[in-house]
Structure 1
Amino acid sequence: MTRDVAVAAGDTTAVSIVAGVGRVEASIVLALGLPAREPFVEVFAGADPVPGEASVANGYGSAVSFDLGEGTYRAKVSTDAVSRTFRFDVAPGRTTTASFALDAGIASFEAPGADALVVFAEDGKDVATLYPPFGSMALPAGRYRAVAERNGAKKETSFEIAAGQQARIVAAAP
């Protein structure tokens, strides 16, 4: 709906505008009791993805809020090697509280003497390449292989991460 407002020079006027806006307040966790570390949240309009679509809002943090028009939206939440999309609805004049659980855990890597550490998912997909100091990262729950590399030689270590788990992975260098 549009409405023209005419104001003469030197005059003032008051106009009330009512918009169909609601708010979503979301908390993001890797799993129950394990907060996500600085996740990036992109919000897209509509229930289904559209090729080439642009996000309508975005933000960082494990507690985010967005003021959005009435409708259905998708929140794509990413942190480290984890990315998941959640659907939610916004009603005008209301606050929707959402909790987005990424079903992930944290792997802390050590690879004494290694030059690099390559992490592969169970399906063989390269998830990440880490260099000393190796540190930690969030991974979706599942089975993985960590391949320690040193001077061209490789040695593999298998491990599993469960949602909410914090695991220490030691991959011996070849």
Structure 2
Amino acid sequence: MKDIDMKTTFMTLAMLMAGSSLSAETCAQSGPDSPAVLHADWIMEGWERREGEPDFIFEEKMARYCNLQDTRGVFYDNFAPGQTQLFGDAAVYGANWEDLQNAARSVLHGLTEANETLVGDGVASTTLGFVGLINRLDGEVIAFDGRSQLGWACTGEGWKIRHELNYAWIVEPQEIADTLGQRGNRQ
């Protein structure tokens, strides 16, 4: 498993190095605009849907995290709805999730583990463990556990996602109840 993770990381970094502008852009290495914090916010705020919120529109919810002018990249999620799990365009990938999000009363998440690795000033790779609970409008409840790896490129607008690898599996809701319970007043 570690060999696959290392190969994925090296391939991600090579893609980021080749596809990102490593010019004089400066992006935060720590603090609220750093990749590790952005990754957590991306899960906890970007993909969240609370009851009564307006429709989920990817371009509105994810502009902080994704470069919506240059949407090329590699985006994989085994949990992705529809016919495909692999996308080469962030906008197409994101729009693919809108129906699932909008068919939910709520989509809640909790964080389980994280590991950040920054490489140079122009690229970063972050990993994050998370759980989620989808409460669908039709009454179905879907609980899952997942891992996320994001490759970030430093742009004139800060760190933006260029590579995404997510893998999730279905669990029983009680298996993640403690993690979701630690959310405090975020619900």
Which TM bucket (shorter chain)?
under 0.3
Q: Which has the higher contact order (CA 8 A, sep 6+)?
A: 2
More helix by share: 2
Q: What is the TM-score normalised by the length of structure 1?
A: 0.24
Q: Could you tell me the TM-score, scaled by structure 2's length?
A: 0.23
